[in-house]
Amino acid sequence: MPEARRPRIAILGRFAESTSVTRYAGVVNARRLLELVWAAGGEPLTLLPIANSNWAERLQGIDGVLMPGGSDINPERYGEKAESSELYGIDDLQDEVDLSLVTHVFEQGIPLLTICRGTQLTNVALGGTLLQHMDNPHYHHVAEVTFDANAKDLGLANPTVQASCYHHQALKNLGRGVVAIAHAGEGHVEAVRYEDAKSWAFGLQWHPEDNYDSDAAQLAIVKTFIEAARG
């Protein structure tokens, strides 16, 4: 019997000013994130951010979309001025392309998983806002997070997970149909359900790629996403 086809997962690339293997600026995704998608049964594909993309054309043959982590979103996108000196890496083209892709994904009912910046960006796309800088940023921070709901929908046998975080911002006002389903000990949102989506659609504030090879729960979440994309 031939091996089942791997669902093709589009991951929008992130602009980098420089990388160790290119002479100039790069378009990148985290190696561990791509390896996680592969380990979960998917075929990760990095997309170049291009303004005014025809997503119906570009996503032909794509089974799911993963919005990855990255730098900060321009606060003007959620109706605020920059109020923190900790903001970094703001790129208006990146924001524009991210927002347009998320909008298309919701319109077309494509399975969606969002991670860190991807979750913040999706909240903004749906009319929400962000806390520009947390009092206690979660840099290289591992916290126990317990789901209030939807743990089984994410493939979790146990509602408590060890979340490996790297973020200094958090969701503030939730956007349309963004439902908080897990919180950190300090109270900020660590996972969400996009209840108005036409297909499987969830978001994490942490990075499951950090410890997926030592924590089966992280791999289980992405496997569940891949199976939704397969279906």
Q: Using one digit for the tens of pLDDT, what is the confidence trace for 175-219?
A: 999 999 999 988 899 999 999 999 999 999 999 999 999 999 999
Residue spans of the domains in the chain: they are: 8-230
pLDDT per residue as tens digits for the range 103-159: 999 999 999 999 999 999 999 999 999 999 988 888 888 989 999 999 999 999 999
What global pTM score does this model have? 0.95
Give the CATH class of 8-230: alpha beta
Phi-psi region of 63 (alpha: psi -120 to 50; beta: other; left: phi over 0): alpha
pLDDT score recorded for residue 2: 57
Residues 6+ apart with CB under 8 A from 69: 30, 33, 115, 116, 117, 118, 166, 167, 207
Q: Tokens standing for 50? A: 């291009």
What is the helix, strand, coil percentage profile of the chain, to 5?
30, 25, 45
Other residues' Cβ atoms within 10 Å of the Cβ of residue 195: 12
